[in-house]
Structure 1
Amino acid sequence: MSVYVVKEGDNVDRIAETAGIPVGELLWANQIEYPYRLAVGQSLLIPEGPAADREQSRRELYSFGYAYPFISRETAEQTLPFLTDLYIFSYGFTEQGTLIPPSSDDTWLIRQAADAGVDPVMVLTPLGADGRFNNNLVTALMEDRRLQERLIWELGRTMTEKGYRGLDIDFEYVRAEDGPAFAEFTGRVRRVLQVFGYPVSVALAPKTSPDQKGLLYEGIDYRLLGEAADRVMLMTYEWGYTYGPPMAVAPLNMVRRVVEYAVSAIPVEKISLGIPNYGYEWPLPYVRGTTKAQSISNREAVARAIDHGVPIRFDETAWSPYLRYWQYGIQHGIWFEDVRSIQGKFDLIREYGLLGAGYWQLMNFFRPNWLLMEEKFRIIRNN
């Protein structure tokens, strides 16, 4: 497959004719809907042949993503064929070691994943009642061995009853003094759950050095956690985030720095690269402490460019698309992901021989990503 960047005067018929593919195939692969409008600078995936010729294939890439249980059934059904695991977000816990289930019932999603041949993975987080990560809860768990034992027992029981096939530990804002105990806890969970055949993964804040300062990083020891878990995922996104200044969500230059450090501390066969399946839109000018960005899907970002008649630009350093437009006297800035930026991340996975790709989050279906992944990491076609 190749990527084509739309130029002034292009239309879908001309692009398809030049590429030598049916126009319907171009529309389907890129989720272009009637009246088939394009934005200058929009990146399009050019399929290698008719969709019917691309059979489901076994890939060398471990591919997974996080989804809330309130994901639409249609989106789940469209996405599952491209996954090996589905990480269902999330279970919390109390200071008494009792699990707090997701706000929406996860039973149907566990069953749908299993029916599709995809392993449903429970995600454990220390989320408080306000929906934010609570590092006081982490500290309480790290300081009480009996509390850990109760929680681990609850995890095993619930995973077995619900049909989960793995556990992902996503603890953020771990205090520096809790870091060693957190790694020990992760190893303890792994030793218990491996008896039942459940692998344990851990999500890692995007560090570029072992002594990186900041609450997000100091309690996350790459070497210790890499030893403790079966797999890790680098949360290589959220440089551009809700309360931060406008910038790429996952700038490739920074993502590369995280990978370079990670492979120095963790075996590459354990590492998956986190990829955002969304962008952010900021009102401008940005005012620290006041401006709040809104999450936006990759397709919505392109629609904004089309609706407001502005081009999509591409930052060669961050290797990310962005755009700006005016509405009702307010300027807006958007950074998002397209097939060009995602291809850069896939190239990084191949360059370093990483285990796989993990997506935050799967609530919107972006077909070009999955078709590109299928092509780039396919090793055997099914007969």
Structure 2
Amino acid sequence: MGIHVVQAGDSLWAISQKYNVPIQSVLTANGLEEETRVIPGLALYIPEDGPVIRSYIVKPGDTLWSISRRYQTSITAILSANPGIRPERLYIGQKINVPTANKLVMETLGFIVPYSPETFLPAFRETAKYLTYIAISAYSLTREGYAYIELDDTAILAESRRLNVIPLLMIRNLAQGEFSAELIGGVLESPAYRRNLILSLMNFVNQKGYEGISLDFEFIPPPRRQDFNSFIKELKNALGPKILHVNVHAKTEDIPANRIIGAYDYKAIGEGADIVAVMTMDYGYPTGPPNPVAPLWWVEEVIKYSITQIDSKRLQIALPLYGYDWRTSDNRTRSFSMQAIQNLALNTGSVIQFDAFAASPWFKYWREAEEHVVWFEDIRSITEKYKLIDQYNLLGMTYWHLSLRFPQNWAFADKNFTIL
């Protein structure tokens, strides 16, 4: 794997020559135009040949020999990938790089909001080979618990079957385009309304040929915690062998009274659902102060807590395919795809910085007299997040959402993962 961070004076031609990689490969992998003038700090993914690099946390009894056998590689290759490592001084918890031909095996899920076929169908076609599941976000619910269609899912369902990606019906507690605590709280509180919701969901699943359901109920009132647990059990009983996928807000400890995370009983949800996806994003959030969207240290803390409650092989984490642009005078925030943010940095001539602790890139620019700060993801930050999936033996990754272009991510996935 090659990552090149642009320095002053670099050109795309010189970079392609340095790594002996065709310039078109560099352009495609990074979503760049041929005439692009690169800027200092821009991280480029260089699609080189060679082994993949896995990431492993040393456990009691491990030796370099046992690790090399596990990954079907050599001690020499491991030593080369970890400068300064002392074979006789491995310690429990040490993270090491392992060059190998054995790719990371994952189950992934991409979210689609089917607003317009001319946007979401090309995006889905480009990414389908990297997906196990497609969660089609086209449904909400009434105050009496009846699921209903908000957006036409016909085209994306047909395409999912053609491309052999497992379709899940995704339902969110949206009212006038916003998550409604009152809406979902009222439905979960009533056994009759919960039954309405389950019956109407199963009707859509069976009628349209979905292979399961993905729940995204946000801001559930904390008093409805046990009701949500009951709903998950009841829905899974109705689904039978079909998939129940549950998205939950990220947390590093259980705070039952918290209005955002309190209703999520990770242990009960993990026992009731087939897959739990922790939304490891929006640490830096709209209208809040400028911060990394998914800082590595926080994502790892969320994982460490989550696996004490949920079987790691049923757990997915989330990779945002977007970043945020804050206007610093009032924290007014706009979201953009990674492709759009990269273009913004190039067009403004910004110098991209990298926060090593957060493993996140950022930059500043000025629009007239207004200062803006942008936090986003790049090849450096996503490789570190994928390492966490490997290190903690997680099921895989989710992507919100597929219409947001991020060429580096898919180029990296193409070489490094086996998607079930």
Deviations 1:142-194, CA, capped at 9 Å, x for gaps: 22222222221111111121221110111111122110110110111011101
CA distance in 2, matches of 1:292, 1:99: 34
Partner of 2:39: 39
| Match of residue 150, structure 1, among 192, 196, 200 | 196
Q: Is the 8 A contact 1:199 1:230 kept in 2?
A: yes
Q: Can you give the 5+ residue segments of structure 1 that lack an aligned partner in the other structure?
A: 51-56
TM-score of the two chains, using structure 1 as the length reference: 0.91
Partner of 1:219: 263
SS of the counterpart of 2:394? coil
Asked whether 1:62 is paired with 2:113, we answer no
How far did 1:100 drift?
Answer: 2.1
Please, what is the CA RMSD of the aligned residues?
Answer: 1.8
Asked whether 1:254 is paired with 2:298, we answer yes
Question: Which residues of 2 match residues 341-356 of structure 1 at below 5 A?
Answer: 341-356=381-396
Partner of 1:173: 219
How far did 1:59 drift?
Answer: 6.6
Deviations 1:284-310, CA, capped at 9 Å, x for gaps: 23x3xxx32000111222222222222
CA distance in 1, matches of 2:32, 2:161: 31
Question: Which residues of 2 match residues 263-278 of structure 1 at below 5 A?
Answer: 263-278=307-322
Q: Is the 8 A contact 1:58 1:379 kept in 2?
A: no
Which is greater in Rg?
A: 2
CA distance in 1, matches of 2:277, 2:321: 15
Q: Is the 8 A contact 1:176 1:215 kept in 2?
A: yes
Partner of 2:206: 160
CA distance in 1, matches of 2:224, 2:376: 34
TM-score of the two chains, using structure 2 as the length reference: 0.84
Q: Is the 8 A contact 1:83 1:118 kept in 2?
A: yes
CA distance in 1, matches of 2:168, 2:103: 20
Q: Which amino acid aligns with 1:17?
A: Q
Asked whether 1:236 is paired with 2:280, we answer yes
Q: Can you give the 5+ residue segments of structure 2 that lack an aligned partner in the other structure?
A: 51-101
How far did 1:214 drift?
Answer: 2.6
Instruction: Call closer, same or farther: CA 1:137–1:342 in 2, change over 3 Å.
Output: same
CA distance in 2, matches of 1:242, 1:379: 32
Partner of 1:136: 182
CA distance in 1, matches of 2:192, 2:160: 33
Deviating beyond 3 angstroms after TM superposition, the runs of 4 or more aligned structure 1 residues are: none
Q: Is the 8 A contact 1:79 1:365 kept in 2?
A: no
Asked whether 1:11 is paired with 2:11, we answer yes
Instruction: Call closer, same or farther: CA 1:213–1:250 in 2, change over 3 Å.
Output: farther
Partner of 1:302: 342
Instruction: Call closer, same or farther: CA 1:59–1:314 in 2, change over 3 Å.
Output: closer
Asked whether 1:115 is paired with 2:162, we answer yes
CA distance in 1, matches of 2:399, 2:256: 24
Q: Is the 8 A contact 1:180 1:224 kept in 2?
A: no
Partner of 2:98: none
SS of the counterpart of 2:174? coil
Q: Which amino acid aligns with 2:335?
A: S
Partner of 1:54: none
SS of the counterpart of 1:265? coil
